[in-house]
Chains A and B, each alone.
Chain A
Amino acid sequence: QITLKESGPTLVKPTQTLTLTCTFSGFSLSTSGVGVGWIRQPPGKALEWLALIYWDDDKRYSPSLKSRLTITKDTSKNQVVLTMTNMDPVDTATYYCAHTRYGVHFDYWGQGTLVTVSS
């Protein structure tokens, strides 16, 4: 059974760096074809893809946010970490991590974590 869960701060101040951790079980990020992505959703708005890391450490980023994002994995801990620098109130959103395999559609999602950016 594949599960994912996001963790991190619920409130960050403008200009601070956000660090989110996705802890998963039921699969290994060393298995060929497997990837973990991050997607966010501002309140009442649509989904926005942020980043994706594959089993072979191939990393992909949203071009509009690439300069602010870093995605890494710790295979031994079954974790993927996303950092986003220079946070702004417009970055207030629910952040999801999700599993993919042999493609770029996401078949398992975490429950999401709401991050509010406010001073």
Chain B
Amino acid sequence: DIQMTQSPSSVSASVGDRVTITCRASQGISSWLAWYQQKPGKAPKLLIYAASSLQSGVPSRFSGSGSGTDFTLTISSLQPEDFATYYCQQANSFPVAFGQGTKVEIK
């Protein structure tokens, strides 16, 4: 089974900061990676699929990159509504696997 490891587990940042979250797969998954944002008490929201494709309606300050085993989610200019937990998910093969999450907190 493929394991997904995110880093860091949490990050403190200020509004306007550039934030980068990384996700590593235990084996190659091509570009079959998705990123989700989850706010407390809410369902996850799809941000990025196929490693770099922006889901409809998601602000362009969110971007994804990478292929193979190493992936990155970047928020170019952090906004107040972006404070949340972010998860990566491999979509290459079953079983589906999520990362452990990265919490973006207010500095």
Which A residues contact B (CB, under 8 angstroms)? 37, 39, 46-49, 52, 60-63, 96, 98, 103-107, 109-112
Number of residues from B at the complex interface, CB < 8 A: 25
Q: How far is the CA of A23 from the CA of B92 in the complex (A)?
A: 27
For A62, give its contact among B34, B36, B95 (CB under 8 Å): B95
Chain A interface main SS type: loop
Closest to A47 in B: B98
Name B's interface SS: loop
Q: Mark B32-49, 1 if CB is under 8 A from A, else 0.
A: 101010100011111001
Contact of B49 among A48, A52, A98, A105 (CB under 8 A): A105
Specify which chain B residues have a CB less than 8 angstroms from the CB of A46 in the assembled complex: 87, 98-101
Q: Is B96 an interface residue (CB 8 A)?
A: yes
CB distance from A84 to the nearest CB of B (A): 16
- Within 8 Å by CB of A109, from B43, B89, B97, lies B43
Closest to A105 in B: B34
Interface status of B1 (Cβ within 8 A of chain A): yes
| Choice from B1, B34, B38, B43 contacting A110 with Cβ under 8 Å | B43
